[in-house]
Every structure is written in C-alpha cells, then in structure tokens.
Chain A
Amino acid sequence: MAMIEVENLSKEFSQPKNEIKTLKVLDNISFQVKDGEFIAIFGPNGCGKTTLLNILSGIEKSTSGRALINQKNPTKSKVGFVFQNYNESMLPWRTVSGNIELALEIQGINEKEKNQIVGKLLKKVGLFEHKDKYFYELSGGMKQLTAICRAFAYNPELLLMDEPFSSLDYSTSRRMELELLDIWKETKKTTLFVSHDIDEAIFLADKVIVLSQRPAKIKGVVEVKLPRPRKLDILSSKDFFDIRNKILRLFEYEK
C-alpha cells in the first residue's frame, strides 16, 4: 500500500466578488507516494502547490476527490510542515532549542528526552553552540535550519516543505539542501518538497511531480535516478541535465 494516496483531488475556491464562478486551483490530481520517498513538486508560481500541501496537512479540505496518509484522513495523521516564511512561522520569543522543543512539549515528552532529541538534532546541523540564542538573533539560513529541526523533532509520518529555501540566497540554499538531505537520510521521512527551482527539485528528490499552470494538473512524473548521497557536483553531470531537459520538455507542450 502506498503511504500517500491522492485520488482525483480537486479544489475550488469561491470568489467573494463573483458568486457564479469559482476559482479552480487543483484539477483532478492523482499520485501515490511510497514510504520513505522524497518527492519534489515542481510547478510555476501560483499554480496551487501550497493548496495541495494545505490539504495534505489537514488544514484545508478538498472540494472533491480524496487524499489519504497511511490510509487515514490527513486531519488524523501527524504531519510536519516547514514554511517558506520562517520569521512568521517560528516563535521569536523562544530560543533556538525552545522553538524545537515546542514540537515535543505538545506531545508530552519529558524534559530529559526533550533535551536529548533537541541536542542531537542541533549537533547534526551544527547549531548546537547557538541553542540558547533567541530565534531572531540567527541568520536566515540558521532560522530555516531550526524550522527543519523542529519538523524532524515532531517525528511526523509525512514531512511537507513549502519552498523552504526560496527566500535564502543562492549559496545558502545550496548549503541548506545538503543539510536537509543529511538529516533526511537518517530517518528517511516521506517528504513532499514544493519548489519552483528546477535544480533544487532534481537535486533533492527521488521523483519530481511536474504541475501545470493553474488550475494545476499533473503534467508528468519524472524519476530522478541519481545515486545518494548526493553532492553538489552532480548539478553539472550529464544525467542531471538529461532529467532537467525531460522536465523542461514537459513545459514546452503547454504552449
């Protein structure tokens, strides 16, 4: 059985100024994800990627079709979410470790275990020496790393990431991608990573789901058969270019 099953999922929003016509955002989306897969969702801005993640996280409902996580309704599953805007999703009044602990204290995990989990994650990403700093004292990259640590500390069934690195500069986002893969490979959490950066999507994922302009339809699913662990030099390999071209060709047919 697949871990995530999305079947004929559609989403329409009613428009406040137009009572007859609704805004269709997702159009008949179907795909499956196996346990432990890293999936990138690639598509143009404003196509409905975020709506898809919202539905899978259980905070929004689909208009028709269904989405199941481990055979359950998304509202009943444990989902980790990393947002693009770390400044507005994390807690500036808490320290770095305090932010990560949030995910643990709401699950009633005891003090000792909490410190252990947080310490281990922070050491892994090299933020341990900053653990007692307040969140706002960190750089953008460090802030998002903290957000990623929080999502992993939560120990979700499914990890959703909504363009987490797109507000960081080029070299920082490349570094973040390496850090992410490094944490990810230990737990192999099933991950859906939304991106509008084609290189990022290929570099991270096992499969890239390519979406069309709004209303989003699936234009194709491209397998990324690049070996892991991945290093930045694969960005210039021939295999990488072939995959990249395959995805770009999917877009050419759109016109």
Chain B
Amino acid sequence: MKNKKVYYVIAPLIILMIWAILSNLKIISPLFLSTPQAVFSEIIDLFVSGEIIPDILFTLYRTFLGFIIACLIGIPIGLLMGYSDRIYYSLEFVVEFFRSIPATALFPIFLLFFGIGDQSKIALTAWTAGLVLIVHSMYGVHLGKELRIKSAKTMRMSGFVLFQKIIFPEALPQIFSGMRIAVSLSLVIVIVTEMFIGTNVGLGHRIIDAQLIYRISEMYAAILITGVLGFLINKGFIFTEKRVVHWKGK
C-alpha cells in the first residue's frame, strides 16, 4: 500500500480534532476535559521542571523489577510444565485457578504480607506477569513440532541436550509473546497499585493526585505520558522480538 504513513496519522489526527473541538468550545466542561494545548504545555512544563522524571523512573523501576522476577520464576516453571506431563498435571489446576483471580483482588493480601511500600507493588506485578509467563512458556513447549523431537531422538539426543538444543529454542517465540503481554500487564499493575497507597512517587500516584486536587490538565498530561511509555515499551519489545526470534512464523 502506498502512503501507509498517511493512514497511520489519520485516526490520531481525527481524535485530536474532536478533542480540541469538544474542549475549546466547552461542549465538555473544563472540569472534566482540558484542552489539548493546555495538556501539551503541561507536559512540557513537567519535563522542563524535571518534576515528572522521578515518577517515570520509579514506575519503570517497579515495572521492570517485577517483570524480571516474573521471568526468572515463571519461564522455568512453564518450561518444566511443558516438558513433564507429571508436573503439568500437578500444577495445571493451581495455575489456572490463580490465573482466574483478578490480580488487583489480591492486592490486599500482598499489602498484608509485603507492607505498603514498593515490595508489595513489585510482588503483585511479579505474580501477575509470572502467571502469564508460565502459561506461555508451557504452550511454547506443547506447540513444538513433534517431528523435530523425533528427528533429534533418532540422533539419540535426550535429557538436557534435547531440551537445550531443540525444546527451548522451539519454545522461544511463544515465550517472547508471553513476555510482551507480561510487560504490558506489569505496567498496568504498577500504575494501579501506585494509585492506592504508600507511595509519593510514580506515574499512577501523579495521575490520582492531580485528579484529587483538580489539576485536570496535569492529570491528562500524566496519563498521556504513561500511554507513551507503554507504547514505547511494547514497540521496544516487538523490535527485540523480531531480531531474537527471527524465524517466528517462517
């Protein structure tokens, strides 16, 4: 398709236009919706004053620490479940059950165990992302081609060598999809938990604080910054994914 980039900007421009009209003509009250120009100048102010930088860094730190812990625990468990039927049948119900509980419903328990500081936020993030990674890593092994394993077995490969040379690389594309979903989910959990309690810094805190004291354009500014952050993390992951698991879908 020619002019692909033109299509890329059409929808955002339309949304921006509707927003500008609704807010500037005060069709929606400024108490609920700021004008785009006010929000963008607020964004510039937040960066020029440097006020928003600690919020971004703390949110990123919580997101990635939780995510990394989730990878370190979730991926090995998922791979083991995929590899061994015994482990699979032992854990399948447990994993499915915990996955069915909305993560945020568990936050009070995490507060109880880990306190109101960073630990509970990071632990809940790791829990939620970890469950996603378990399931994806497990499917990665299950979706592997049987013939590849059969072919390796004719060469008398078994045990760890079979796992390392065949099963693990075969599961990697699925693991990467899982990581991409997990990292987005981590950001969601961090933002939500930052809104609640026990922190003075973080994008979630900035958003809820601005809303509480009716600094509406600052609230929109912080939301937009969070959105861009999520977008960049996702794009960064897609970029890495294409390079690491280049054979995916081929």
Chain A residues in contact with chain B, CB under 8 A? Answer: 57-59, 78-81, 83, 85, 88-93, 102-103, 106, 134-136, 154, 160
In angstroms, Cα B246 to Cα A89, docked, is: 18
Known: A59-B153, A92-B250, A136-B247. A106 touches B147 (CB 8 A): no
Chain B residues contacting A160 (CB-CB under 8 Å) are: 154
Q: Which residue of B lies closest to A87 (CB)?
A: B145
CB-defined contacts of B146 to chain A, threshold 8 Å: 88
In the assembled complex, which residues on chain A have CB atoms less than 8 Å from the CB atom of B161?
106
Contacts A106-B157, A154-B155 hold; do A93 and B148 have CB atoms under 8 A apart?
Answer: no
CA distance A92 to B169 in the complex (A): 10
Q: Report B140-182 CB contacts with A as 1/0, cut-off 8 Å.
A: 0000011110110111110001000110010010000000000
Contact B147 A85 (CB under 8 A): yes
Whether the Cβ atoms of B165 and A134 lie closer than 8 Å is no
Chain B residues numbered 114-155 whose CB sits less than 8 Å from any CB in chain A: 145-148, 150-151, 153-155
CB-CB under 8 A for A88 and B154, given A93-B169, A136-B250: no
Q: How big is chain B's contact interface, by range? A: 20 to 34
**Assuming the A-B contacts A88-B147, A91-B148, are A102 and B165 also in contact, with contact meaning beta carbons closer than 8 angstroms in the complex?**
yes
> Does B145 contact A58, Cβ atoms closer than 8 Å?
no
Q: Which residues of A contact B154 (CB under 8 A)?
A: 57-59, 79-81, 160
Residue of B nearest to A82 (CB): B151
Q: Which of A80, A106, A160 has the most CB of B within 10 A?
A: A106
Q: Do A81 and B151 touch (CB < 8 A)?
A: yes
What is the minimal beta-carbon distance from B89 to any residue of chain A, in angstroms? 19
When distances are taken between beta carbons in the complex, the residues of chain B under 8 Å from A57 are: 154
- The docked-state distance in angstroms from the alpha carbon of A93 to that of B250 is 10
Is the pair B246, A134 in contact by a Cβ cutoff of 8 Å?
Answer: yes
Q: What are 6 A-B contacts defined by CB distance under 8 Å?
A: A83-B147, A83-B151, A91-B148, A93-B172, A102-B155, A136-B250
Interface residues of B, dominant DSSP: helix
State whether A89 touches B151 (Cβ < 8 A). Answer: yes
B152 CB, nearest partner CB in chain A, Å:
8
Residues of B within 8 A of A78 (CB): 156
User: Which among A59, A78, A92 has the greatest number of chain B C-beta atoms within 10 A?
Assistant: A92
Contacts of B147 in A (CB 8 A): 83, 85, 88-89
Nearest CB of B to A153, in Å: 11
Which residues does chain A contribute within 8 Å of B250, judged by CB atoms?
92, 136
Contact B148 A134 (CB under 8 A): no
Residues of B within 8 A of A154 (CB): 155
B227-250 near A? 1/0 per residue, CB < 8 Å: 000000000000000000111001
Q: CA–CA, A85 to B245, complex, Å?
A: 21
Chain B min CB distance to A232 (Å): 30
CB-CB nearest 7 A-B residue pairs: A92-B247, A136-B250, A81-B154, A89-B151, A88-B147, A88-B145, A57-B154
Inside 8 A of B155's CB, which chain A residues have their CB? 80-81, 102-103, 106, 154
Known contacts A85-B147, A92-B247, A106-B157; 10 additional CB pairs below 8 A are A58-B154, A79-B154, A80-B154, A83-B151, A89-B147, A89-B148, A90-B151, A93-B172, A134-B246, A136-B247
Q: Chain B: which residue is nearest A84 at the CB level?
A: B147
What residues of chain A lie closer than 8 Å to B157, measured between beta carbons? Answer: 106
| B150 proximity list for chain A (CB < 8 A) | 59, 89
Give A82 Cβ to nearest chain B Cβ, in Å.
Answer: 9
Complex CA–CA separation, A169 to B229 (angstroms): 50
B153 touches A91 (CB 8 A): no
In the bound complex, what is the Cα–Cα distance between A79 and B151 (angstroms)? 11
List B3-26 residues whose CB lies under 8 Å from chain A.
Answer: none
Assembly CA distance A206 to B115 (angstroms): 78
A91 and B166 within 8 A (CB): yes
- Of chain A, the residue at the smallest CB distance from B172 is A93
> Nearest Cβ distance between residue A251 and chain B, in whole angstroms?
30
A102 to B154, CA, bound (A): 13
Residue of B nearest to A89 (CB): B151
B residues less than 8 Å from A90 (CB atoms): 148, 151
**What distance in Å separates the Cβ of A236 from its nearest Cβ neighbour in chain B?**
36
Min C-beta distance of A19 to chain B, whole Å: 23
In the docked arrangement, what's the CA distance between A78 and B153, Å? Answer: 11
Q: Tell me how far the C-beta of A167 lies from the nearest C-beta in chain B, rounded to whole angstroms.
A: 13
Least CB distance from B150 to A in Å reads: 6
**B176, chain A: closest CB distance, angstroms:** 12
Please report the C-alpha to C-alpha distance between residue A60 and residue B14 in the assembled complex, in whole angstroms: 64
Interchain CA distance A118-B184 in the complex, whole Å: 43
**In the complex, how many angstroms separate the beta carbon of A117 from the nearest chain B beta carbon?**
15
